[in-house]
């Protein structure tokens, strides 16, 4: 057996035998009670839009509960997803969340409370209750995109009749710090208010890094009677940070010896985001099995990022290029769902009927970087000596290379029936219709175009239940993505004529509630993507790659193993290849950023009623940075640990140590020469106070 497999098995065994948690008893209850059934698992994911147990859903779903998020001490969506099997992080050009789900890279398949959240930014977690990762094509429930899956965040809302509050602060060994407040207050018997707020100051191991994040999210809940609930929510997020594009490659691997070197400008590499989201939702129970909800959301996002970045390297020099981008986006989304649970003769139904409409306006401008060379001329690319601290020439951004206006309008309707044929067989069938239209104007060349696509997206599934706590399933689902890309900024003469990309997901799996608090899941899948596009390994631009196929196997265990032990363990085996030869890549090339093996395990164990310990392991085998298959990201194994101590019923301390064995690793990439570096060993100390 290869030594790497032996080491992985040993680490997996160690993580399963040693692990930890907040401890709880009646006299010294900590801020977050742990050890209770369900802390690391939930029975229903709200992203499915029906109250159907996950056990009966014919697809793979991973849910990160608030307890898992807090135990690991993470504050961003990307850090939270590191422990989700089958999810790989992309670099996102150093200014946004970007993930790879079942081999499909996306910047737009993000949702909050079931509504699209496709702007490009780093998503915080200060006001989030849990994270749901629904894998496989998901167009029926979520519309366009979602080829490899979607990520839905469930936000905190005001709770009627509850008075609660908490404050927490943390600081790490790099000097980064954060503070968060959560306060829920009843305003009478039918009204409640809640506010979540946070301030975070950034720092890390890189020579140049910094910034800050401020967020505030008030919510109001009104429940005039037992059948009706109205929720009003608003959040303002303000992010300002350094844009870091990582390190270049050399000899087919990330360059070594420059983990902390910043290949950019401390003056020009900057990213700012101002996001405002207002949402109103009403839920009503009509009785006789009928429930409904309707939501309206307004979203405004202004994002700027400028960056100089490495483009190539030799043993003594590095080439730099760069650009800046300013995007203003404003959108409206309306969605309504009607659910009926009832019977017709011997058949039991859960019927979902929904409609959705949206309008999105985007104003985007991009400028290229210039450098002043030795002759005093402006050049778009420059070579400088490779050093721990780069000596950069005068640089700036000019001229404007892209400028566009676009409007996207969608109208959608969907219908799904989950049919129970007795106690042991369930059938799921659904269909969605999307009318998608984009109008765009290229202000550089005055090219204006309109593209409309009308697509049907089916979903079929069968669930066999040999016993009440076990299910076997098979499913087929289809999704599509217009060729204007997942950000829909502008059409050109080619994309205006091309049919949308299509995704077809075949999946079989099994789910078993081993105990009421512990769930085991496994799945096999095949995902085919046609008329696909990918990132050019040199320019970073999107190019056509034809057809691709990803196949995989995943297995997961989550929940309460014993009264003192909670766990979340997952393993994924994946393989993806391009099937058709194009100018971007020949058939047989491997899909980028898709490690063959992924393993993760996070555990916590109550040593005493006051003391808990945590241990986590993540492993990724090697993968290619891009479809060029010219640069390989090395395999790595990272170990994390934590200690939890309850000082009193209202005060708790927590220490999280990341990268315990100081592993050198490269977790993400955007191009062959924009490769993120993993942080060395670092510790974060947190103090939590219950008000």
Residue-wise DSSP of 23-58? ---SSS--SS--SSTTTT--S--GGGSS---GGG-S
Q: State percent of the chain over pLDDT 70.
A: 92
**pLDDT value for 542:** 57
More confident residue, 325 or 43: 325
Q: How confident is the model at residue 38 (pLDDT cuts 50, 70, 90)?
A: very low
Pick the closest to residue 501 from 527, 479, 475, 472 (CA basis): 479
User: Would the pLDDT of 11 be above 90?
Assistant: no
Q: What is the mean pLDDT of residues 521-545?
A: 76
Chain segment 568-623, per-residue pLDDT in tens: 999 999 999 999 877 678 889 999 999 999 999 999 999 999 999 999 999 999 99
Chain segment 222-277, per-residue pLDDT in tens: 999 999 999 999 999 999 999 999 999 999 999 999 999 999 999 999 999 999 99
Q: Which residue has the tokens 């204007």?
A: 484
User: Within 13 A of 278's CA, how many CA atoms are on the CB side?
Assistant: 4
User: Would the pLDDT of 114 be above 50?
Assistant: yes
User: Would the pLDDT of 326 be above 80?
Assistant: yes
User: Would the pLDDT of 300 be above 90?
Assistant: yes
- Report pTM: 0.90
**Please, where are the H alpha helices in 221-276?**
none
CA distance linking residue 150 with residue 116, whole number of Å: 10
Q: Which residue has the tokens 């150093």?
A: 94
CA distance linking residue 334 with residue 355, whole number of Å: 8
Q: How confident is the model at residue 544 (pLDDT cuts 50, 70, 90)?
A: low
Residues 6 or more apart from 344 whose CB is under 8 A from it? Answer: none
**How far does CA 381 lie from the centroid of its chain?**
33
**pLDDT value for 491:** 84
User: Would the pLDDT of 435 be above 90?
Assistant: yes
Q: What is the mean pLDDT of residues 370-377?
A: 94
Q: What is the mean pLDDT of residues 292-304?
A: 97
Residues 6 or more apart from 170 whose CB is under 8 A from it? Answer: 73, 177, 178, 179, 684, 685, 686, 687
CA distance linking residue 384 with residue 264, whole number of Å: 12
User: Would the pLDDT of 372 be above 80?
Assistant: yes
**pLDDT value for 532:** 72
- In CATH, the architecture of 3-690 is Beta Barrel (2.40)
Q: What is the mean pLDDT of residues 158-184?
A: 97
User: Would the pLDDT of 14 be above 90?
Assistant: no
Where are the chain's structural domains? 3-690
User: Would the pLDDT of 35 be above 60?
Assistant: no
**pLDDT value for 17:** 32
Backbone φ, ψ for residue 467 (5° rounding): -150, 165
**pLDDT value for 537:** 64
**Strands 542-562 and 565-578, sheet pairing:** antiparallel
**pLDDT value for 484:** 76
**pLDDT value for 534:** 58
Burial class of residue 555, CB neighbours in 10 A (0-12, 13-18, 19+): middle
CA distance linking residue 64 with residue 602, whole number of Å: 11
Q: How confident is the model at residue 155 (pLDDT cuts 50, 70, 90)?
A: very high
**pLDDT value for 4:** 39
Q: How confident is the model at residue 23 (pLDDT cuts 50, 70, 90)?
A: very low
**pLDDT value for 125:** 95
CA distance linking residue 575 with residue 525, whole number of Å: 11
**pLDDT value for 192:** 98
Chain segment 491-521, per-residue pLDDT in tens: 888 778 888 889 999 999 999 999 999 999 9
**pLDDT value for 145:** 86
Q: What angle do CA 544, 548, 554 make, to 5 degrees?
A: 135
Least confident piece of the model among 3-12, 151-160, 202-211? 3-12
Six-digit token string for 597: 């093996």
Chain segment 280-290, per-residue pLDDT in tens: 999 999 999 99
Burial class of residue 422, CB neighbours in 10 A (0-12, 13-18, 19+): exposed
Concatenating the DSSP letter of every residue in 606-641 gives ESSSSEEEEEEEEEE--EESSTT--SEEPPEEEEEE
Q: What is the mean pLDDT of residues 300-307?
A: 96
Q: How confident is the model at residue 10 (pLDDT cuts 50, 70, 90)?
A: very low
């Amino acid at each position: 057996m290869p030594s790497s497999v032996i080491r992985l098995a040993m680490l997996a065994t160690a993580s399963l035998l040693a692990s930890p948690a907040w401890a709880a008893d009646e006299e010294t209850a900590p801020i977050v009670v742990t050890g209770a059934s369900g802390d690391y698992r939930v029975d229903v994911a709200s992203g499915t839009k029906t109250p159907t147990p996950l056990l009966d859903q014919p697809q793979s779903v991973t849910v990160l509960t608030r307890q898992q998020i807090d135990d690991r001490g993470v504050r961003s969506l990307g850090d939270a997803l590191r422990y989700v099997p089958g999810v790989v992080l992309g670099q996102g050009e150093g200014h946004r969340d970007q993930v790879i789900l079942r081999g499909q890279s996306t910047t737009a398949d993000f949702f909050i409370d079931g509504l699209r959240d496709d702007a490009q930014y780093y998503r915080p977690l200060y006001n989030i209750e849990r994270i749901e990762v629904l894998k496989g094509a998901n167009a029926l429930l979520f519309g366009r995109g979602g080829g490899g899956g979607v990520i839905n965040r469930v936000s905190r809302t005001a709770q009627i009749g509850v008075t609660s509050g908490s404050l927490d602060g943390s600081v790490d060994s790099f000097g980064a710090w954060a503070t968060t407040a959560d306060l829920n207050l009843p305003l009478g018997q039918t009204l409640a208010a809640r506010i979540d707020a946070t301030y975070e100051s950034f720092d890390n191991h890189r020579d140049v890094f910094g910034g800050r994040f401020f967020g505030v999210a008030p919510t109001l809940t009104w429940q005039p009677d037992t059948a009706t609930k109205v929720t009003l929510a608003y959040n303002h997020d303000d992010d300002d940070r350094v844009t870091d594009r990582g390190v270049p490659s050399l000899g087919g691997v990330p360059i070594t010896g420059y983990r902390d070197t910043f290949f950019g400008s401390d003056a020009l590499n900057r990213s700012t985001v101002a996001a405002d989201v207002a949402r109103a939702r009403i839920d009503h129970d009509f009785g006789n099995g009928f429930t409904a909800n309707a939501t309206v959301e307004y979203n405004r996002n202004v994002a700027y990022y400028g960056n100089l970045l490495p483009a190539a390297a030799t043993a003594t020099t590095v080439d730099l290029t760069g650009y800046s981008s300013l995007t203003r986006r404003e959108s409206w989304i309306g969605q309504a769902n009607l659910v009926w649970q009832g019977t017709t003769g011997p058949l039991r139904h859960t019927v979902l009927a929904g409609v959705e409409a949206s309008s999105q306006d985007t104003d985007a401008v991009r400028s290229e970087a210039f450098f002043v060379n030795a002759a005093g001329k402006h050049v778009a690319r420059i070579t400088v000596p490779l050093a721990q601290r780069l000596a950069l020439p005068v640089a700036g951004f000019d001229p404007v290379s892209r400028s566009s206006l676009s409007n996207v309008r969608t109208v959608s309707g969907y219908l799904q029936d989950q049919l129970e044929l007795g106690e042991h067989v369930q059938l799921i069938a659904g269909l969605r219709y999307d009318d998608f239209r984009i109008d765009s104007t290229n202000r550089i060349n005055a090219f204006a175009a309109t593209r409309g696509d009308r697509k049907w997206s089916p979903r079929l599934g069968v669930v066999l239940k040999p016993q009440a706590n076990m299910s076997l399933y098979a499913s087929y689902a289809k999704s599509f993505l217009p060729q204007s890309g997942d950000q829909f900024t502008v059409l050109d003469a080619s994309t205006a004529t091309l049919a949308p990309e299509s995704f077809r997901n075949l999946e079989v799996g099994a789910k078993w509630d081993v105990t009421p608090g512990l769930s085991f899941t496994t799945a096999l899948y095949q995902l085919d993507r046609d008329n696909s596009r990918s990132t050019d390994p040199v320019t970073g631009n999107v190019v056509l790659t034809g057809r691709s196929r990803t196949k995989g196997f995943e297995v997961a265990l989550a929940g309460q193993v014993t009264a003192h032990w909670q766990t979340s363990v997952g393993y994924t085996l994946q393989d993806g290849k391009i099937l058709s030869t194009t100018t971007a890549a020949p058939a047989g090339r491997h899909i980028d950023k898709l490690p063959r093996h992924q393993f993760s395990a996070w555990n916590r164990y109550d040593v005493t009623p006051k003391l808990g310990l945590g241990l986590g392991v993540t492993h990724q085998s090697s993968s290619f940075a891009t479809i060029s298959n010219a640069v390989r990201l090395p395999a790595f194994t990272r170990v994390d640990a934590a200690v939890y101590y309850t000082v009193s019923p209202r005060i708790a301390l927590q220490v999280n140590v990341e990268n315990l064995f100081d592993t050198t690793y490269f977790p993400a990439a955007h191009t062959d020469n924009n490769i993120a570096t993993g942080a060395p060993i670092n510790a974060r100390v947190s103090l939590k106070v219950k008000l």
